[in-house]
Amino acid sequence: MHIEYLSEHTSLVPQLARLHFEQWGYLRPGETLEQRVARLQAGCGRGGVPTALVALEDAKLCGSAMLLANDMETRRELTPWLAGLYVVAACRGRGYGTALVGRAESEARALGVRRLYLYTPDAAAFYVRLGWVVTQTCEYLGQEVVVMSKQL
């Protein structure tokens, strides 16, 4: 497995956007798949914010992670955010998620970021194991979510 910039593999954008859409589309009920593709395309940065990373195994997409300036409309004062952490079901449990978080943290650290944020509806325990702390629990887009942060 290796982690690369999505900007070097833009042909994977539609596939990844569909996976994100299936996983998190319910959080943005008005957004179409086409809009999600466009949003991912716009987030295909590297060496800055936004940055989009993909985990690959023999050129096959295994997962993703992103750095975004804002991921939560109600917490625009917090920046930047770890977002889009996703591992394809068949690749789970093999350390890809942990590796993607670690790489995203390294990318942020290299940019001089001191604290990184994320929100999750259901995976707080995964991030706690990686040193993230819960900042608050709140309702967002009709879901109870946990806002977490990590000092880098």
Ligand X SMILES: CC(C)(COP(=O)(O)OP(=O)(O)OC[C@H]1O[C@@H](n2cnc3c(N)ncnc32)[C@H](O)[C@@H]1OP(=O)(O)O)[C@@H](O)C(=O)NCCC(=O)NCCS
Q: Does 122 bind ligand X (CB under 6 A)?
A: yes
Number of residues that make up the chain: 152
Q: Does 97 bind ligand X (CB under 6 A)?
A: yes
Where does residue 23 rank: exposed (0-12), middle (13-18), buried (19+ CB within 10 A)? Answer: exposed
Q: Which residue has the tokens 């079901």?
A: 89
Please say whether the beta carbons of 53 and 5 come within 8 A.
yes
Residues 2-41, interacting with ligand X (CB under 6 A): 23
Q: Does 140 bind ligand X (CB under 6 A)?
A: no
Q: Does 123 bind ligand X (CB under 6 A)?
A: yes
Number of residues that bind ligand X (CB under 6 A): 16
C-alpha closest to that of 145 among 125, 123, 116, 120 = 120
* Three-class secondary structure of residue 93 per DSSP: coil
Beta-ladder partners of 104: none
Q: How far is the CB of 120 from ligand X (least distance, A)?
A: 4
Q: Does 85 bind ligand X (CB under 6 A)?
A: yes
Q: Which stretch binds ligand X (CB under 6 A): 5-13, 84-92, 103-111, 142-150?
A: 84-92
- Contact with ligand X (CB under 6 A): which of 120, 145, 146, 148? 120
**CA 63-3-1 angle, 5° bins:** 80
Q: Which stretch binds ligand X (CB under 6 A): 3-11, 26-34, 80-88, 131-139?
A: 80-88
Binding footprint of ligand X on the chain (CB under 6 A): 23, 85-87, 92-98, 120, 122-123, 125-126
